[in-house]
Structures are given as C-alpha cells and as structure tokens.
Structure 1
Amino acid sequence: MVARHDQATDPGLLEALLQARRGTAFFARKLNELSVDDLDGPSLLPGWTRRHLVAHIGYNARAIARLVEWAASGVETPMYASPEARNQEINFGATLSPIALRHLFDHSAVHLSVEWRDLPTQAWHNEVKTAQGRVVTAAETVWMRTREVWIHALDLDNGATFADIPVPVLARLLTDITGAWQTRGTDEGLVVKVTGRDLTLGDIAAATPTVVSGPLPAVVEWAAGRGNGGVTAKQDGAALDHVPTAPKWI
C-alpha cells in the first residue's frame, strides 16, 4: 500500500509541519512520563492542574483542525463557539478519566495531522479567523500549534526546559512575543539582546534602555513569563539588582 504524504510542497511549510509534529511528540513523551496521580498535580499555569493543561492541548488540536477544515471547504468553522464554551470544554476535559484524557490528546493530535496532510497546496493560502479575531492563512495554523505544544510541554512541569525547544522555534517565539509587546506599546525603553547571536529586539531607539540579555533559551523563558534564570539586566550600562518582569505576552 502506497504511503500517504503531505500534499503541501513548499519547503518552508514542510519544515514548519515537521517542527509542529516534533513538538507534539515531545509533549506526548513528557505526558507519558506522568503517572495517574501526577496528572492531578499543578501545572506551571496558575489555577490549572496538569489535567487542565492536557485537556487544553487536546481541544486546541480539534479547534485548529476546524480552521484547516474551513480552509479546505470554504465553510466558516470557528475554533470555538465562544470564549465561555472554550473554558467550559477545558474544565470538562479535566474531569475525564486518565485514559480518556490521554486518548483525547492522542486522537486529536492525529486528526489535526491528517487534516494538514490532506490540505491541497493551494488551500494553504486560504484565509481563516482565529479565536482572537485575527485573519490568517491556513499556513499560520501550523505555527499556532507549534507554539502551543512546545511551550505547554514545559508547563507540564515534568523536567522539560526551554533548552529542549529547537532554535528556530525559540527564535520565532521571541520575535512573536516582542512583536506583541510592540503592538501594545508595552516595550517602551526595553531591549532584549540574545548573547552569542546577532539578535536584538525591542525599543532599540530608546535613549537609556533597560537591556535584558542572555542565551536564547533563557531570554525566551523570561519573555514568555516562565522565569528569569540565566538572564541579566542593565540600564545605562550599569547592572540592575533585579531583572524586570517581562511585559504580558498573551
């Protein structure tokens, strides 16, 4: 029997799909390391147990699959009926039995991967609307999922670190986060510098900026609001005693 492959042919898109699927596999590995009792423990997200986080990732795959179906059919299919419906779904998912919760993750991930696989090349350019109201092409759904699985694999609080995330994903995460700050105007006077790489972002034109610097994984961890280990801060060339809290990302 002939194996089925992605219909997409663009090399950049195929690489993006690979990173999304690798992130899904990484999340699966960290999830599978957790015992039944571990699932009841807290995640790194305030107010959410690991159960809530796994449910979110499962239902997120279904929601993104709906956008891919929209791009394929032209029939508007929103990610969620409403923000309230999304929250209710996650809260319900957190009550599932451990085996049902794991099946939710596994089956929804496969469903999304198949929807991506079967999307015709031209349909990747079709526009859909995210839950936040952004109009994007179907190709953006790959990054939407990539970001979710890699970041939330760390939020399972099961030993994963930002150093486990591939460099291209880290670099795009940092660009996305600092871009969100710039859009909201919350990065005034703040510059982010990645040591060992020619990468400086933020309010570069500021006269006396606060410069937060460190290796790429550490800088992204700080920017994503997950900690400040490995980063330092300076203002006017003088070291600060405390690294400032990063502006809100999402």
Structure 2
Amino acid sequence: MADRLVDEAEWIRRCAQWSEHPEREKFPPGEGQVTLTIDEQDPKNPTEDRFTSKRFHKALSVTLNSVGFRSEPDGCGQGPETTGRRRGGPNPGRSTAKERGRGYGAVSGEPVRGRTDTGRRHAMTYDGSAGPAALLPLLRTSVERLHVSARALTDEDVRAPSLLPGWSRAHVLTHIARSADSRSRLLVAARTGAGLAQYDDEAQREREIEEGAGRRAAELAADLRGALGGFLTAAAAHPDAAWEVPVRWLGAGTRPVRRAVGSLLREVEVHHTDLRCGHRPADWPPFFVARELATTAAGLRERDDVPGMVLVADEDRVLRPVGDGRGPRVSGPAAALLGWLTGRAGGHGLTLDPPGPLPDVPAWRS
C-alpha cells in the first residue's frame, strides 16, 4: 500500500512538471491511475426558505460593522478666511450655483479626460429590501459623525456660507434638526392615529429654519443632538406593525411612515457635506450610496428633462439607463456618480464613453 502511494505521488509530481514545462516532458503514459473516493453524499439543493429576515439583518449588521467610517472636520472650527479649498472639489467660497447643490444640477460642460481616483472600492450592498429597523444602526453612525462636525464649529463658523445658495451653516444645522422633528411627528401620527402632518405647509418649514439660524454654535449643536436623539429613540420603539401606516408628507402626499428613517439618513449624510466640514461624497457609507444611487437613477428615469445616458458604478457594473438611455456611458465609483447627480461633486473620477463633457443633469430632488 505504501509503495502504491509513493508511485501515485510520483505520477502526480511528473504530471505537474509536464503542465509547467510541456516542451520538456511528455505526459507519462500508463504510469498508474489515481482514484479519489469521497465518503460523502452528493450535495442537494436546500428546500427550505433560505432568505429570512433574521438572516438578512445578520448579513446587514456584518456589512455595516465592516465599513470603516472616518470624520475629517476640515474647515470646521476654523474661520471662513482660513477654510481654503476642499480637497478633491471646488472652492466652496466661490462655487457656482450648480456646484452648490440643492435645487441645482451638477457641474457640466467640462471634458472628462480620465479617472484619477485610486481609492478603495466598496461592494454595492443594497437590494431594496432593507426595512426601517435595519437602517437604524447606519443612521446612528451617521448622526454621531455629524455631531462631531457640529461640535467643532465656532460662532464665527456657523455664520459662514454652506454649499447651499443663500444658506449659512447655521441654516443647514437648523434644517436637519427640524427635519428630524418633523419625522418624529409622523411617527407619533402613525402610532397614535393623530392627524399630524410633517409640516402644515412649506411656509412653516422655511419659517422654522430662518428663526433658528440666528443662534450661537453651542445652541445649534445642542438642538441638533436633541432632535436627532429624539427621532432615534422614537424609531427604535416604533411598533413593527405600524411602519406601513400612511402619513402626510410635505410635497409627497400620503405615504407610509417607513420612509422616515431612510429619508432622514439622506438628510444627515447629504447636508453633512453641505456644511463644508470635509465630509465628502467619498465619505458617504457604501450602503447609503448604493441605496441612493438606485433610487436616484430610478427617479431620473421618470423625468422628461433628463438627457439620455447610462450610469455604471465600478462596484457592480450594472447598467442604469436614464432619459432615453441612448447617450454616453458615465462610469466611475458609485459615490462619485451619486455626488455628481446630487450636485455635491463636480464629476471628478468619472469617465465617459465616448469621451466628452458630462451631460447637463437637472436639479436633484431630495
């Protein structure tokens, strides 16, 4: 038996030599036969339901915990005269309306010559099935990063302009806080049946922002922490059966309250960037980027003012046609694509096929 094992081992060795140097040695003819016997039954496909909420939440938790977040409050805690240029982006103090974001399209007209970004690529993880409770851990992490930036701001800093035209950093911080409060009202409405709306009207929303924007930095940071903490507490205690209850959204009619968590995550991440504190689209969590890129592309397909193009993220290479889908293919990191589509980045890191200027993207609707 031992001699046979030696012979078979020698035969395998000579076969390996032949595969590496076929010109030196012919395949050894008739020098033994190797039979592999596996004492296991043939594999069978499982018959039970393998996709369960327990498995999904466990996988999502692993995904979220594996993402390395960082907070770089560049410009926060400094006066506006020393903030300088954002790395990888335009000078926020001199940015055009298109570059600043809300209500404006992304930068267009500049030829894209090639991608220079060499940063890490994260896998796309969003499949559309994440429920509100599953998004709460990610929202908590995003909120804590925002608090770090808000605490670093001085009274002088909060008076400085944000990336949004006509708004200071104080306006942005107040807006985020009131957005959290408005969603807390919707949770109460869904849970109790009270006829509460997100806002009475657009005028109420604008009035609350203007009234709160004149406060000092410490007051703004404390208000932000209280409003976001209140929402997180209410959302964590919200009954599972009440997430589908329809409530009255400003500008969106009656829709399920389940949108509250995901939409607040969008408010926190995107407006954190608007603070000009060094929080760039490249810092947005990969799961958030995947989720928002999917919903943003879907929204653009429903509009008739969008030029034809195909969006392709490096992470998944999925073709996302928008407009009539007959224009150029715009490729790059998912965060760069989303930053460009939302007007929070100028398209650095994106490539076009055929080469040319970035299409003129219409105003982003959050």
TM-score normalized with structure 2 length? 0.61
**Which amino acid is 1:221 matched to?**
G
Equivalences for 1:40-59 in 2 at 5 Å?
Answer: 40-59=159-178
| Alignment partner of 1:184 is 2:303 | yes
**Which amino acid is 1:102 matched to?**
A
| Alignment partner of 1:214 is 2:332 | yes
The one of 179, 184, 188 equivalent to 1:65 is 184
More helix, by proportion? 1
Residue number in structure 2 paired with 1:121: 240
Residue number in structure 2 paired with 1:229: 348
Q: Percent identity?
A: 26
Contact 2:307 2:359 in 1 (8 A): no
- Structure-1 separation of matches of 2:190 and 2:158: 35
Q: Which moved more, 1:193-202 or 1:169-178?
A: 193-202
4+ residue segments displaced more than 4 Å: none
169 and 160 in structure 1: CA distance in 2 versus 1, 3 angstrom threshold: same
1:134 deviates by 3.5
Higher relative contact order (Cα pairs below 8 Å, separated by 6+ residues): 2
Contact 1:233 1:244 in 2 (8 A): no
1:37-93 deviation per Cα after TM superposition (whole angstroms, max 9, x unaligned): 111111111111000000000111000101111110111211111101110110111
Q: Which moved more, 1:141-150 or 1:20-29?
A: 20-29
| Alignment partner of 1:239 is 2:347 | no
Residue number in structure 2 paired with 1:4: none
**Which amino acid is 1:198 matched to?**
R
Residue number in structure 1 paired with 2:318: 199
Gaps of 5+ in 1: 1-8
81 and 196 in structure 1: CA distance in 2 versus 1, 3 angstrom threshold: closer
Equivalences for 1:1-150 in 2 at 5 Å?
Answer: 11=57, 12-13=130-131, 14-150=133-269
Match of 1:229, SS? coil
- RMSD across aligned positions (CA): 1.8
1:205 deviates by 6.2
1:99 deviates by 2.1
Gaps of 5+ in 2: 1-53, 58-129
- Structure-2 separation of matches of 1:76 and 1:229: 46
Contact 1:187 1:202 in 2 (8 A): no
Contact 1:170 1:216 in 2 (8 A): yes
Residue number in structure 1 paired with 2:282: 163
- Structure-1 separation of matches of 2:150 and 2:168: 13
1:116-171 deviation per Cα after TM superposition (whole angstroms, max 9, x unaligned): 12211211121112111243222211101010001111111111111211111001
**Which amino acid is 1:40 matched to?**
R
Match of 1:193, SS? strand
197 and 89 in structure 1: CA distance in 2 versus 1, 3 angstrom threshold: same
1:187 deviates by 3.1
Match of 1:212, SS? strand
Structure with the greater alpha carbon radius of gyration: 2
1:28 deviates by 1.1
Match of 1:163, SS? helix
Aligned residues: 237
1:195-227 deviation per Cα after TM superposition (whole angstroms, max 9, x unaligned): 242322123863x42222111111111011112
Contact 1:178 1:201 in 2 (8 A): yes
Residue number in structure 2 paired with 1:3: none
